Structure 1
Amino acid sequence: MPEDFTPAQLARQVEKIRQALFDDFEDMGEGKYSGELNIEVKKIIEGTLIFDKVLSEDEFTVMFSDCTDKLLEWIQEQTKGVDTRIAAFFIQDFIAQTLSNAYDVKEVEHKDNGSDPMFG
């Protein structure tokens, strides 16, 4: 996290981001919060995150980056005075938590018949 912010400044910036992302945002203490996602945020997530198919590592990376970029741009349009580094850190953590609740990460067998020299 950026070291050039006081804890109070950092807390204010995170609060601005949370209030933009959520309608009826509620701080539950201990770093937990609750609220209904803003409809525009839902549309970005539904338009970029893929939940109904197996993704390769590259596809997952592209999906994660695309969602991060779109949400970061949206946050910057909706808020004033939020540092891009703080917003990016928050958004990446937010997406990671969203994905960890929706994805089961495991190795899958490839359908191609060729062997992968990396694995023997």
Structure 2
Amino acid sequence: MRNLITAIFISLFFSSFVSAEEMQHHQHAMPSATVYHTKGVVKAWGEQKVSLSHPAIAALSWPPMTMNFLQPQPPLPALAAGTKVDFSFRQVDGGYQLTAISASQD
């Protein structure tokens, strides 16, 4: 009986250790769930990335700038350079990825 209790204890100990390690690994591998929204202007459009100029984004402490955003898969429908847009993005491994973009109605 004592061996059975010891075996159960050891089994529970190691299963909780593995679960905690797996959770920690997934937390580091998961991209940010926060989605940011702003306006901008398309500078260049590509299958892998989109170059957009945008105003300051206070939530990220970013000044106004032009930067590249990664395309999701499948890529979003192309918009011409110079198009004013409303867009959303999130942080992923390797940068920031567009989640939505549309021509601005302003």
Tell me which interval the TM-score lies in, with the shorter structure as reference length: under 0.3
Structure ranking higher in helix proportion: 1
Larger Rg: 2
State TM-score, norm by structure 2. Answer: 0.24
Structure ranking higher in strand proportion: 2
